[in-house]
Chains A and B, each alone.
Chain A
Amino acid sequence: MGTDIAVIRRAIAGDERALRALWSQHAPHIDAVVRRLVGDPDLAADVAQEVWIQIFRALPSYRGESQFGTWAHRIAVNRTLNALRRSRRLAKVEAEIDEDTAAVEPDGERSLLMASIEDAAAQLAPGARAVFVLHDVEGYTHEEIARELGITPGGSKSQLFKARAKLRRLLAHLLDGPMPASDTPHAAPAC
């Protein structure tokens, strides 16, 4: 921690080596959260670069009240959501997930089984992905998500559960336990 503060002081003074050290230390986490939120790898790379510029612009305002990684992470989430809003990918957060989730055909999903949860989350609509990543991966509360995305906490919950339901299907091969239950469509009329 002490070392990091010394590096941060040098970085605030414009020392390129210190700036690079901060990037080297934190890029794997910061870039990962951007990639998870954005989904599209090419767009994620562009957004992540802007995120880093914002982090370094804001560096003089860092007061050391939280760990640098936590502080930078918060900036990364805010700036990524802003970038998604600007690109209108979050324009219809409330509506999109209903349409998107309803549109998935079970047979189509079977051919789209994803290798990892990140691959699967990239298949979600941007708003649904944002809610899922913020809540289940990043640990945000529904109230925090609602503030970030400009929706209600109830809306956040609703989207989260629909996103999970879709991910559960996309990741069936990873999530199905020993009980042979998942081939049964889960809207069967009765037990």
Chain B
Amino acid sequence: MPHLPADRLAALADESPTPAELAHLEGCAVCREEREAHGRLRTLAAGAWARVAPPITSWDAIAARLRDEGIVAAGSADVADDLGTAPGAGWRRAAWRWGARAASALLLLGGGVAAGRYSAGASPLPRSLAALGGAELPAPSAPPGDTAGNVSGAPADSVPAFRSQAEALAALARAERQYQLAATFLVQHDPEAAPLDDSSAVYRTRLAALDDVTAIAREALYEAPYDPVLSRYYLATMSAREATLRQLNTALPEGRQLTRF
């Protein structure tokens, strides 16, 4: 009997062979191997669904279209919901957004500095801050009427009594912002830290680290796609990456533009 046609062997990856085909397969190693190869192809294809890659879309481009179409509410910005729409608010929102991006970048840097100090046996805080007697950082200022936002004042292992998910999320957002600001402050006011080299090598090293962190965060998000902490962590890392890319562009020699990292 001739070999089974290639199309038929492809079909047998998920169809049952006829009795005649079965008899042929039992006696023909070539066709059997072909059928098994198609089974492996099927497995490979099914596995491709779970494989993800960095997005091929850019949020900036999408956001511009959404603004043009009025899908983004007037006065809404990606990070600064609370700056209002007073004259000059647009500029302040942009400044705030850049500040937040820088804070995100510095958050990772600050974490690295603190971790480095700690692993080297030193206090995570610079001496200038330690000299304050280990005073606690000021508690985040809660908005009027906020009764559940006293996160920093609560014992570390206690569970604050939030009345709703919205309240908990608001507290989380405030804590996140305070954390970023504190990390920024620590980095900016550390007299022992070596000054940052402005060469592109620093930014490239940072980008490589951020890419690693992004990849890990993305993988984690696919395990737990609705985890708000992972989501925020991923967003912060992506923001830091965007900021670093822009910094890297400005650090390159005049006339050179970064097109690929």
Q: Which residues of A are at the interface with B, using a C-beta cutoff of 8 A?
A: 1-4, 6, 13-17, 19-21, 23-29, 31-32, 34-36, 41, 44-45, 48-49, 52-53, 56-57, 69, 117-118, 132, 136-139, 157-158, 160-162, 164-165, 167-168, 171-172, 174-177, 179, 181-182, 184, 186-191
B254 close to A (CB within 8 Å): no
Measured CB to CB, the nearest residue on chain A to B238 is A24
Q: How far does the Cβ of A191 sit from chain B's closest Cβ, in whole Å?
A: 5
**Number of A-B pairs, beta carbon distance below 8 Å:** 197
The interface residues of chain A lying within 8 Å CB-to-CB of B6 are 165, 168, 186-187
Most chain A CB within 10 A, of B7, B45, B48, B225, is at B45
Q: List 12 A-B contacts (CB under 8 A).
A: A1-B226, A3-B226, A34-B56, A45-B56, A48-B57, A160-B10, A168-B41, A175-B40, A177-B37, A187-B2, A188-B2, A191-B24
Q: Which residues of B are at the interface with A, using a C-beta cutoff of 8 A?
A: 1-3, 5-11, 13, 24, 27-34, 36-38, 40-42, 44-46, 48-49, 51-59, 61-63, 65-66, 69, 71-74, 76-79, 81, 165-166, 169, 218, 221-222, 225-228, 231, 234-235, 238
The interface residues of chain A lying within 8 Å CB-to-CB of B48 are 36, 117-118, 137
Q: How far is the CA of A187 from the CA of B165 in the complex (A)?
A: 64
Tell whether A161 pairs with B45 under 8 Å between CB atoms, given A6-B166, A53-B65, A182-B33.
no
Q: How far does the Cβ of B251 sit from chain A's closest Cβ, in whole Å?
A: 26
The interface residues of chain A lying within 8 Å CB-to-CB of B62 are 23, 49, 52-53, 56
Q: Other than the known A25-B231, A32-B52, what 15 A-B pairs have Cβ atoms closer than 8 Å?
A: A16-B72, A17-B78, A19-B63, A19-B71, A24-B234, A28-B54, A28-B222, A53-B66, A136-B42, A158-B7, A168-B10, A168-B34, A172-B37, A176-B33, A177-B37
Residue in A20, A31, A177 whose beta carbon sits within 8 Å of that of B235 in the complex? A20
Q: How far does the Cβ of B23 sit from chain A's closest Cβ, in whole Å?
A: 12
Instruction: Tell whether, in the assembled complex, residue B235 and residue A29 are in contact, meaning their CB atoms are under 8 Å apart.
Output: no
The interface residues of chain A lying within 8 Å CB-to-CB of B231 are 3, 21, 24-25
Q: How far is the CA of A91 from the CA of B35 in the complex (A)?
A: 32
Instruction: Tell whether, in the assembled complex, residue B71 and residue A57 are in contact, meaning their CB atoms are under 8 Å apart.
Output: yes
Q: How far does the Cβ of B257 sit from chain A's closest Cβ, in whole Å?
A: 19
Residue in B2, B28, B37 whose beta carbon sits within 8 Å of that of A189 in the complex? B2
Instruction: Tell whether, in the assembled complex, residue A164 and residue B41 are in contact, meaning their CB atoms are under 8 Å apart.
Output: yes
